[in-house]
Amino acid sequence: MSRTSTFRQRMQAGDKLVGSFLKTPTSHATEILAGAGFDFVVIDQEHAPFDRTTTDIALMAARGHDIPALVRVPGPDTILSVLDCGATGILVPHVKSAAYAREVAALFRYRNGARGFATSTRAGAYTAVPMWKHIAEQDQQMTFVAQIEDPVALDEIEAIAAVEGVDSLFIGRGDLTAAYGDETKDPPAVVRAVERISEAARKAKKNISVYVGNAQEAAWLKSHGASVFILSSDQGFLRQAAMKGLGEVRDVASK
């Protein structure tokens, strides 16, 4: 079986998985990160200039290199097109209530759900996959990661975590930090939010996903039960390497 087809199983089993965001709308970063050994990538439609065509190209590259590819969508209206293009799963931002989580979860599933049917897509191998085989495989494999990033979501966090079809809670520390407006390092309200979200996920036996900028952050969040880590982004790695290389050469050149 491919890494793509088993990603949801690995996540649910608590395997430690490390991925990265894709911010540049081309196929190249997907290929590079796959070759580097990352476990998955997340195409960022919400905060990067990915449209349907560039998302399709990135997903094609992911399929070609057998690296699971999730897509962070700007909202539920694009979920169907992303699934049809062959995404392994979707990161849905601003999940604020259990009712919304249930509504979104239904869009991932054919049986007992509301996903529009088609096999004339990459997901259906362009009609090569029989109808009921496609339905069974897609219902089993598609991954729904709910991004918890609004203080109001904490009022329903246990109910959100318990929603059938939600596979993982992604702790959106950036938006939570902005919402609380505390400019100190590691704002107490955000730390408490991390603890509440983590506790709710563990109670519901759901996976915890997080964004990290370094190993220190990963260690802290792992201590709260996180097992899926999104490390930086293609642009983050480019900037980091560019600054390091530039500094080294300028240091030599100036001597």
Residues belonging to the active site: 47
Q: Is 93 helix (H, G, I), strand (E, B) or coil?
A: coil
Determine whether 220 is exposed, middle or buried from the number of CB atoms within 10 Å of its CB (0-12, 13-18, 19+): middle
Beta strands in the chain (DSSP E): 17-22, 40-44, 69-72, 89-92, 143-148, 168-171, 207-212, 228-233
The candidate with the shortest Cα–Cα distance to 212, out of 175, 243, 172, is 172
Residue 66 near residue 3, CB atoms below 8 Å: yes
Q: Is 228 helix (H, G, I), strand (E, B) or coil?
A: strand
Residue 68 near residue 8, CB atoms below 8 Å: no
